[in-house]
Chain A
Amino acid sequence: MRLHSKILFALATATALSAAPLSFDFKDPKGVNNAVFKLDAPLEAINGTANGVSGTLSFDPENPSKTTGSIVVGTGSLHVANPMMKDHMLGAQWLDAAAHPEIRFEIARIGAVKADGGNFSGEVTGKFTLHGVTKEITVPVKATYLKDKLGMRVPNQKGDLLVLRSTFTVKRSDYGINPGAPQDKVSDEIEITLSLAGASPR
């Protein structure tokens, strides 16, 4: 092979290797990955959490706007402190967890990306599925790429971490969640805060 062909081949290989997106798994048996939800109605404030998070993202730190993948939260993992309220919330009249076991966000595109070292922010547009209804929404996301930090979480495991944070609001009436329920008691607006860390082992 001629010298300049060898050089070109080496450059192409190096470029391909450095630009390869990484696959991050968001299933977290330790329960750190979580969603917090809040409904603040005039007569009652409802706060709860969910930790049944899973999903995978393909993320390239050199090209974060090309991130693809989806995040899933198990509907049955939603929790509020009052047991009767929890039963109602997961029951047929509200979230119907038996019929709709997953809450899913699938990335369609990412815009307004800003990068500062390993920190990124952007507007992520995707298909949000809740209560069996899918709508396209755009949410702000902050991401932190922690290169070679997986070993701090999982002993003797090499790899990277991708930390995601996002807070956004959806309306339960948009997703057919008991739309007739009085909004002064159960707010129509649901504020959702996602705190997620994905692992990419090597």
Chain B
Amino acid sequence: MKTLLRRLSVILALAASVTWLALGRNTGWTKTSVTTMKTDPVTTLEYPVTEKRFVPGVDLLGLCLAGAGVLAGLSLLRPRTPAARP
């Protein structure tokens, strides 16, 4: 059980970190859309174009790492020793 918890903790921490790094290393809040500015050729106005895209932020990373910490912490708990029989 302890081994399982520790393995899950490592997997969760690694998966969260790799995903966060791979999807943009966003140091802000998690985003579900990304906006880029384009220029209208007729008026030369800049205008936003928004596309739906999931970009994990430090809030999600922190939550996953905290979850990994909880799992690791649980793995360190000692099992209850049954009371000795007289």
Tell me the A residues contacting B by CB distance below 8 Å.
Answer: 31-34, 36, 49, 51, 79, 81-85, 144, 146, 149, 152-153, 161, 163, 165, 195-197
Contact = CB atoms under 8 A, between A and B. Distances in A.
A153 B42 contact: yes
Given A49-B50, A163-B45, A32 B33 contact: no
Given A34-B48, A197-B45, A82 B31 contact: yes
A163 B29 contact: no
Contacts of A153: 42-43
B18 interface: no
Contacts of B32: 81-83
A70 B47 CA distance: 21
Which 10 A-B pairs give the minimum distances between C-beta atoms? A81-B31, A49-B48, A82-B29, A195-B45, A32-B47, A197-B43, A152-B42, A163-B43, A32-B40, A34-B47
Interface of B: 28-35, 40, 42-48, 50, 55, 57
Contact of A49 (B28, B35, B42): B35
Given A32-B40, A81-B31, A83-B32, A51 B48 contact: yes
Contacts of A197: 40, 42-43, 45
Contacts of A32: 40, 43, 45, 47
A130 B50 CA distance: 24
A195 B43 CA distance: 10
A146 B47 CA distance: 18
A81 B35 contact: yes
B30 to A, nearest CB: 6
A144 B44 CA distance: 11
Contacts of A81: 29, 31-35, 55
Contacts of B57: 82
A33 B31 contact: no
Contacts of B45: 32-34, 163, 165, 195-197
A152 to B, nearest CB: 5
14 contacts: A34-B45, A51-B48, A79-B33, A81-B29, A81-B55, A82-B29, A82-B31, A83-B32, A84-B29, A163-B43, A163-B44, A163-B45, A165-B45, A196-B45
A104 B50 CA distance: 24
Given A33-B47, A82-B31, 6 more contacts: A32-B45, A33-B45, A49-B48, A82-B30, A152-B42, A197-B42
A36 B30 contact: no
Contacts of B50: 49, 79
B67 to A, nearest CB: 19
Given A81-B34, A152-B42, A31 B47 contact: yes
